[in-house]
Amino acid sequence: MSQDLDDTLPDHDAAGQALRPKPAQPAAVALGHGEVTLFRDYATAEAGQSAALAHVAGRLGALDDRLKRGPNGWRHRLALIEAAELGWLTGDRIGQDRLALWLALRLAGVQQDTAALGRLGWAARRLSAGPGPQAGLSEFLGRADGAEAHGVEERDAFWALLLSESRALHPITQACLVFHALAEPGAAAHPDASLLEAAVTASRLAATGGAAGDGALFAPLAMGGARGLPISGPPGPRLLHWLERMQQALVTAMRQLDRIEDWEARAAAAMRGLSGRTPSKLRRALVAWPMLSAPMAEAQTGASRAAVQRNLAWMERERLILEITGQGRFRYWRAAI
């Protein structure tokens, strides 16, 4: 039998010096007494809130099923709404319309903080697409390379241990624990980002049904207001508050889908007689984005400016969309839902 060349090399020379490097060892991370107690306290809290947990899990399952049967635009729209609401955690009061404008065209208002838009844009992208945090926290947060790569191995080792030790918990409870662990001062590269990163990570972790890339990629936490998210307190009350906020957010998300689905059906019926592909593409863009300008519509549909403006004017006359600026130039429209 042939032998691999590497296996024939000695590990040391005659003087005892190493001839080849030893394989890299993973960062050693151990749980302290506080972490062990935290897991136990969350398991106790979960047992005490089993009925409420089952109710919230059922609502999340219903959202997952509905998104699997709907267009991708629904998921994108919900992610924009959620990201804008999560801005309350960092003090970034940016509406979903301005966030959409930033994501589509990288345009910011004169007095708007581009760093804040960048943070919320990151949240919207992580909520609407891509792999979740299960495989690695640094990769998910975007800190696997570059200036923020310091401490990646230790951070990911702790993350893997955290997930492993809490695997017996329901994903929704586990997400609450993760938010607890990550929403600490100094846990993020930027002080304003720690709560946002913790919320987005926990939101993705709770929605295991979206792991295949369809359905609900995240569990809504902030729709209806992020100011009530439990940032401090013992596990029992924190989990109860977490479940209450998630249930309210899930109800809001389903209502959003009801409204946009009704509008889409009404618009499809009204536009049935229009020729070309631009009307249907424009309709899908208005489903996915809370507002559209003519340049945004061009980018989303691939149609010419003239075709976009002609179809937008027709939809406005039919009261399918509303112009929201009241201006003659730099106009924006939204679906009349």
Q: How far out from the chain centre does Cα 122 lie?
A: 8
In degrees rounded to 5, what are phi and psi of residue 334?
-135, 160
pLDDT tens digits, the chain, 337 residues: what are they? 444 434 443 444 444 444 444 434 444 445 554 566 888 999 999 999 999 999 999 999 999 999 999 998 999 999 999 999 998 887 887 888 788 878 887 765 545 578 888 889 999 999 998 889 988 888 898 865 554 555 677 778 888 888 998 999 999 999 999 998 888 654 444 444 588 999 999 999 999 754 555 789 999 999 876 566 777 788 999 999 999 999 999 999 999 999 999 999 999 999 999 999 999 999 999 999 988 889 889 989 999 999 999 999 999 999 999 998 887 777 889 999 9
For residues 163-199, one letter each, b for 16 or more C-beta atoms within 10 angstroms of the residue's C-beta and e for the rest, the string is beebeebbbbbbbbbbbbbbbeeeebeeebbbbbbbb
Q: Which residues of the chain are in CATH 1.10.10.10 domains?
A: 271-335
> What are the residues facing 322 on neighbouring strands?
334
How far is the C-alpha of 92 from the C-alpha of 98, rounded, in Å? Answer: 12
Question: What's residue 150's pLDDT?
Answer: 58
Question: What's residue 325's pLDDT?
Answer: 80
Question: What's residue 103's pLDDT?
Answer: 86
Question: What's residue 130's pLDDT?
Answer: 87
- The answer to whether the CB of 235 falls within 8 A of the CB of 41 is yes
What CATH architecture does domain 271-335 belong to?
Orthogonal Bundle (1.10)
Sheet of 292-293, strands arranged across: 292-293, 332-335, 321-323
